[in-house]
Amino acid sequence: MIDERQSRQKIVSDRLDPSETIQFDALAIWREFGMEHAEAEGFLVLTDRRLLFATLALGVLVDLQVAGIRNAWVARLKSKTAHLEIETSDQNIHAFWTGKRSAWLVVGAVHGNT
């Protein structure tokens, strides 16, 4: 478990500024709307400035500045997971299944509640 977390942090560390702080990293499934085969299992990383989605095999697939996110909301809840949707300023929508707590932390960060 610790080795996997260290591997995940190594993948995103090249993208982060030295002053950025990781708020959490959590397992997630990503599905890009409008793209038939854009789906991957990986992990979400929220820092104090950005939201990233990466996989161990493919690296970082989504890298968004929190300030550049227009809206974030939880569309559905199931048991312990949430369907998180992120709308960027260029009106692209990224969708993730992740843990409820992680989803609500992202929504809070986007809307200034963290």
Report how far residue 92's alpha carbon sits from residue 89's, in angstroms, rounded to the nearest whole number: 7
Total number of domains in the chain? 1
Angle at 18 between CA 13 and CA 24, to 5 degrees: 55
Report how far residue 54's alpha carbon sits from residue 29's, in angstroms, rounded to the nearest whole number: 10
Nearest to 54 by CA among 11, 19, 91: 11
Report pLDDT for 4: 74
From the CA atom positions of the chain, what is the Rg in Å? 13
Domain that holds residue 42: 2-110
Report how far residue 10's alpha carbon sits from residue 56's, in angstroms, rounded to the nearest whole number: 10
What CATH number has the domain bearing residue 88? Answer: 2.30.29.30
pLDDT digits (tens, 9 = 90+) for 26-75: 999 998 776 665 689 999 999 999 999 999 899 999 999 999 999 999 99
Q: pTM (2 decimals)?
A: 0.87
Locate all alpha helices (DSSP H) within 2-99, ordered by sequence.
2-13
pLDDT surpassing 90 at residue 2: no
